[in-house]
Amino acid sequence: MTQSPFTPTTVRQYPKIDLHCHLEGSLSLVALREMAQVTATPLPTNDDRLQQLLTTTATDPTTTDYLKRFRPIIDLMQTTEQLQIAGFDIVRSAAADGLIYMETRSTPTLYTQGGLTLEQAIEALLSGLHAGTKTFGIPVNAIVCGRRERSLAEISTVFKTAAKFADRGVVGLDLVGDEFDYPTVDLADAIRAAHATGLPIALHAGETAPVDNIVVAMTLNVARIGHGQRLNGFPAAMDRAKRTKTTLETCLTSSHHSTTLPDYPNLPLQDFLAAGLKVTVNTNHRTIANVNLTDEILALHTHHHLDWPQLRQLTLNAIDGAFLPDIDKANLRSQIPENQ
């Protein structure tokens, strides 16, 4: 059977899933302008200039340069209305990208600078997500993130607060931030606090720091690894990931831009697929990295000869790893074509 060509149209129309998409790095320019109006915050009037302010490239020399792009966005996420706009916008982006499901990561401690409580921040975001799902028909749930560099008390409070919304769209937990200076082994108590809530964990590990962070996470029964490319080249660790069916949430273009993977030929996707790992492809920061999942898949086709059967496997891996009830996973699987 002749396969369809990989084109922007055919890939956009393919039913896709994004499990690793940070809200703060993925808001559209339209939404940011709307959010700025709420607080009369000035932004560059020219869209190209605004995009340049926010977007990083592979030539940015340090992770610090990458992270500074978030500051103007976070400043616009300090009111209930702004967070509702943000939640609605990420669902709109998911629909435009041809997604059938998304889990968006949110770090609510970043939204409390203007006086919102953690509960108010999470509730406002979920309100926007629900409104977006009602409008566009795409289910988008939230993973709430604590910050690695913060105290155990603060992280535990974030996780306990998030768990109050477990029946309203919060489906998991994560810890974000500098994984080199705050390695997984030092977060064991925080991970245990996450487990205590009953929510599953998708932990950032092996993006900018060694494979040890991934191994410790698997030892602590973390269900999914955010990024995880440093697993490549360590057969024993890869074997463990295969045995435990640990989901790997690779975000290859974003990692390429943040200089953790200097060249597309070094991206480990094909190695992970060949090893039978539960690897997935995701966007991470749609605006900051200037990528959507359609573009990500097209780039992987160009640089790594990704084909339709492999894309189907990646999508099924994402469904298996999604923080969803089995009945919802079955519904998603029914939407994935056997052949393309």
> Mind telling me the catalytic residues?
207
Burial class (CB in 10 A: 0-12, 13-18, 19+), 246: buried
Q: What is the dihedral of CA 33, 88, 84, 109, to 10 degrees?
A: -90
List CB contacts of 116: < 8 A, sequence separation 6 or more. 78, 79, 80, 83, 124
CA–CA dist 141, 102 (Å, integer): 7
| Distance between CA atoms of residues 335 and 338, nearest Å | 9
Q: Which residues contact 317 (CB under 8 A, 6 or more apart)?
A: 247, 278, 279, 280
Give the C-alpha separation, 95 to 166, whole Å: 24
In which element (H, E) is residue 102 found?
strand 99-106
Residue 324 has phi, psi (to 5 degrees) of -140, 155
Please count the CA atoms within 13 angstroms of the CA of 198 that sit on its side-chain side: 8
Is the Cβ–Cβ distance between 109 and 74 less than 8 Å?
no
**What tokens appear for 39 in the block?**
């607080």
DSSP lists the bridge partners of residue 202 as 224
